[in-house]
Amino acid sequence: MQFSDRLQEKNSHCATVTDIQTVSILGATGSIGTNTLDLIARSADRFQIESLTAYKNVSQLAKLAKVHNAKFAVIGDETKYKELKSYLAGTSIEIGSGETGLIEAGARQADCTIASIIGSAGLRPSIEAVRQGHRVALANKECLVAAGDVFMSEVSLANAELLPLDSEHAAIHQVLCRGMLDEVKQIIITASGGPFRNWTAKQITAATPEQALRHPNWSMGAKISIDSSTLMNKGLELIEAHHLFAIEPERLKVIIHPQSVVHCLISYYDGSVIAQMANPDMRTPIAYCLAWPGRMASPTEPLDLIKLQSLTFEAPDTERFPALDLAISALIKGGSAPNIMNAANECAVAAFLAHEISFTDITRIVEKCLEKADQQNLLQPVGTIDEVLALDHEARQLVGRLIDQN
Ligand code: NDP
Ligand code: MG
């Protein structure tokens, strides 16, 4: 379904959102998953949990499934199936495990599925949710980076309603409700600049995982926190916006906004610029997705501009943070370049978190992997999820060798 068609549907549905909604959360134990459950617990009369999934955190999954009265709980790591079974003994909660279980959780009938598994591991379960033709609130941006065209054609085929949960994209979605895409001159996505915004290039070279994890404004999972510190997160978000809103790379731009209060600015041909603002708390965009096409209360602290006093903006420094330009080149190159870049980045971030490579090695290794993949003619477009995942696997092998040689 096109974005403009979805907006028309919003208006026709507005009066009918008082029924209890069923919700599945893929990645329930993560930062987005727990924020979603926090909102749902505050409006328990409006929501009922269908499926919850995790990867290894079996005790937390079992606890969440019991507390939120889920119908189906899935642990991605098959070796933990028995443990989950014993935690949930005596309850009526159905249990699943492994990739099959995760895919089944995506396939379960739910009014809204929150796709918040991290990385391309979320691709198959998220696609399965899309195939059911209901609403999918997508946090898992790596799905769109790895498989944008394939993913979006599945959305159209199933006539599913894809809502962006990423804060900047939820902001764009809200602003675009008042205008047509062909009237838009530019979509500007903001970035906080991360914890190293004011560090010198020399200091950045010695940055540790612990320092990189300390995001100034947002509390998030480890991988996205590292992506925010390299600015790769903004690169992934440009690719995400390109697919979500069918907008060309030339009309997308990133600016640094250290307070993380303005999440997007959309400029129109008549000179108007419309921005969306909120304090940095993921419960605002999650609430937007859960209550769509209406609104629901969220505990996000109200925005107090007088207290804030000033909002500042600056250009990104792509010399100290080369990942942004790397992602823009992959977006422009198209084909499988974003997929290879995403897989390489996931591996390089994991290696940095494990203290195997330095901070600046992350982007250097991703760039090297893209060069190698190009030499091996791996950047051509592909047409199926199996092909996307085969290339993802290939890129991980390439990066593994690059890390060993590092
Ligand atoms: P977390 O690392 O906090 O949580 C990830 C979730 O995915 C956990 O439930 C984890 O289970 C599960 N998981 C991890 N690996 C696998 C796997 N191989 N197979 C199945 N499940 C797996 O991540 P975040 O919540 O921070 O981010 C989730 C997604 O949302 C990412 O794509 C991120 O870019 C996006 N996003 C996040 C934001 C945030 O504020 N956190 C903001 C905007 C977007 P377990 O706990 O058992 O490991
Ligand atoms: Mg974001």
- In three-state form (DSSP H/G/I as H, E/B as E, the rest C), the secondary structure along 204-252 is HHCCCHHHHCCCCCCCCCHHHHHHHHHCHHHHHHHHHHHHHCCCCHHHE
Which residues are within 8 A (CB) of 321 and not within 5 positions of it... i.e. 6 or more apart?
194, 196, 230, 231
Q: What is the distance in A from the centroid of ligand 2 to the CA of 189?
A: 9
pLDDT in tens, 153-177: 999 999 999 999 999 999 999 999 8
- Say what the pLDDT of residue 180 is: 82
Mean predicted confidence (pLDDT) in 289-301: 96
Is the pLDDT assigned to residue 387 strictly greater than 90? yes
This prediction's pTM = 0.96
Bridge partners, 189 (sequence order): 254, 264
pLDDT in tens, 84-120: 999 999 999 999 999 999 999 999 999 999 999 999 9
Q: What is the distance in A from the centroid of ligand 2 to the CA of 282?
A: 9
pLDDT in tens, 58-94: 999 999 999 999 999 999 999 999 999 999 999 999 9
CA-125 nearest atom, ligand 1: 20
Which ligand neighbours the alpha carbon of 221 most closely?
Answer: 1
Q: Whose CA is nearest to atom 39 of ligand 1?
A: 220
Judge whether 396 and 373 are in contact, CB under 8 Å: no
Compute the distance between CA of residue 203 and CA of residue 196 in angstroms, rounded to an integer.
9
Compute the distance between CA of residue 47 and CA of residue 18 in angstroms, rounded to an integer.
10
Is the pLDDT assigned to residue 232 strictly greater than 90? yes
Tokens linked to 150: 């394939």
Compute the distance between CA of residue 258 and CA of residue 281 in angstroms, rounded to an integer.
15
Question: Ligand 2 is a single-atom ion; what residues have CB below 5 A from it?
Answer: 166-168
Is the pLDDT assigned to residue 329 strictly greater than 70? yes
Burial 1-36 (b: 16+ CB within 10 A, else e): eebeebbeeeeeeeeeeeeebbbbbbbbbbbbbbbb
Q: What is the DSSP code string of 361-374?
A: HHHHHHHHHHHHHH
CA-236 nearest atom, ligand 1: 34
Which ligand neighbours the alpha carbon of 139 most closely?
Answer: 1
Domains of the chain, each with CATH number or no CATH: 3-165 (3.40.50.720), 174-280+300-318 (no CATH), 334-406 (1.10.1740.10)
Is the pLDDT assigned to residue 14 strictly greater than 50? no
3-state secondary structure of 263: strand
3: nearest Cα among 163, 134, 149, 118: 163
- Helical (H) or strand (E) element with 123: helix 123-131
Q: What is the distance in A from the centroid of ligand 2 to the CA of 171?
A: 10
CA-57 nearest atom, ligand 1: 47
Q: Whose CA is nearest to atom 36 of ligand 1?
A: 139
Judge whether 250 and 331 are in contact, CB under 8 Å: no
The pocket around ligand 1, CB under 6 angstroms, is made up of 27-33, 54-57, 76, 102, 116-118, 121, 139-142, 166, 218, 220-224, 282
- Say what the pLDDT of residue 5 is: 58
Please state whether beta strands 161-164 and 112-115 pair in parallel, antiparallel, or not at all (unpaired).
unpaired
CA-167 nearest atom, ligand 1: 43
236: nearest Cα among 98, 81, 351, 349: 349
Compute the distance between CA of residue 11 and CA of residue 252 in angstroms, rounded to an integer.
27
Q: What is the distance in A from the centroid of ligand 2 to the CA of 307?
A: 24
Helices 141-158 and 232-244: angle between axes, nearest 10 degrees: 10
Is the pLDDT assigned to residue 237 strictly greater than 80? yes
Mean pLDDT of all residues belonging to the chain: 95
In order of 148, 203, 255, 346, 401, the CA distances from 363 in angstroms are 22, 16, 20, 11, 15
- pLDDT-derived band at 16 (thresholds 50, 70, 90) equals very low
Mean predicted confidence (pLDDT) in 136-149: 98
pLDDT higher at 336 or 14: 336
- For 120, other C-beta atoms within 10 Å of its C-beta total 24
Is the pLDDT assigned to residue 140 strictly greater than 70? yes
- pLDDT-derived band at 15 (thresholds 50, 70, 90) equals very low
- Say what the pLDDT of residue 9 is: 57
By most ligand atoms within 8 Å of CB, the mutation choice from 61, 102, 118 for ligand 1 is 118
**Lowest mean pLDDT segment, chosen from 3-7, 168-172, 254-258, 323-327:** 3-7
**Lowest mean pLDDT segment, chosen from 104-118, 174-188, 273-287, 358-372:** 174-188
Compute the distance between CA of residue 360 and CA of residue 169 in angstroms, rounded to an integer.
28
- pLDDT-derived band at 218 (thresholds 50, 70, 90) equals confident
- Residues of the chain with pLDDT > 90: what percent? 93
Is the pLDDT assigned to residue 4 strictly greater than 60? no
Is the pLDDT assigned to residue 364 strictly greater than 60? yes
137: nearest Cα among 101, 103, 95, 169: 169
Q: What is the distance in A from the centroid of ligand 1 to the CA of 182?
A: 34
Tokens linked to 40: 């749902």
Compute the distance between CA of residue 369 and CA of residue 397 in angstroms, rounded to an integer.
10
Mean predicted confidence (pLDDT) in 203-216: 96
